[in-house]
Amino acid sequence: MCEQDQASKSSIVIGCDHAAYKLKEAIKFYLNSRGYKVDDVGTNSENSVHYPEFAIEVAKLISKGQYGRGILLCGTGLGMSMVANRFKKVRAALCHDIFSARLSRLHNNANVLVMGSRVIGEGLALEIVATWLETPFEGERHQVRIDMFDHLQPD
């Protein structure tokens, strides 16, 4: 594996709004303790911010191929996932349970995990992150489907 490929697998970009700041910090600590390099695009406090700014930043970095995976967090995860999925080759999956996190990787090769801090607690969030990171993509018939929407050019 080349150095750049290794870096993209061990580096994760993360962003959040004010509602999820504390959860983001817990996830960063968890990821760092497991050897991941975490690049944080903000926010850096619980002061009110506009969540699209952070979703845009993470999604741009994923879309350009600068990171293989990203994590977005807000109060519900809904807004972040809506914004992120507007970017080409971004497959943001809103997951509030382990089953969804697992299937988002197995079948959809999700490259952005989105969670809502007001929906789930820290313990479950960390389990979801672990599952999402450890689950491989199955490929084959699922790749055909992903290619269909990765190359989608809406009117």
State the number of CA atoms in the 13 A half-sphere of 130 facing the CB: 11
Q: Which of 137, 108, 129 is nearest to 36 (CA)?
A: 129
Q: Encode burial over 80-103: b for 16+ CB neighbours within 10 A, e otherwise.
A: bbebbbebeebbbbbbbeeebbbb
**pLDDT tens-digit readout, 134-155:** 999 987 888 888 888 777 776 6
**Mean pLDDT for the chain overall:** 92
Q: Given this model, what pLDDT does residue 1 score?
A: 35
Catalytic residue among 18, 74, 95, 96: 74
Catalytic residue among 2, 18, 96, 107: 107
**pLDDT tens-digit readout, 3-44:** 333 444 589 999 999 999 999 999 999 999 999 999 999 999
Distance CA 33, CA 26 (A): 11
Distance CA 151, CA 88 (A): 8
pLDDT at 54 over 50: yes
pTM over 0.75: yes
Q: Give the Å distances, CA to CA, from 5 to 14, 67, 68, 92.
A: 19, 10, 9, 21
Q: Given this model, what pLDDT does residue 146 score?
A: 87
Bridge partners (DSSP) listed for residue 115: 73
Q: Given this model, what pLDDT does residue 129 score?
A: 98
Active site residue 74: yes
Active site residue 16: no
Mean pLDDT across 68-75: 98
Q: Which of 103, 112, 88 is nearest to 138 (CA)?
A: 103
Q: Given this model, what pLDDT does residue 9 score?
A: 53
Domain 3-150 has CATH 3.40.1400.10: yes
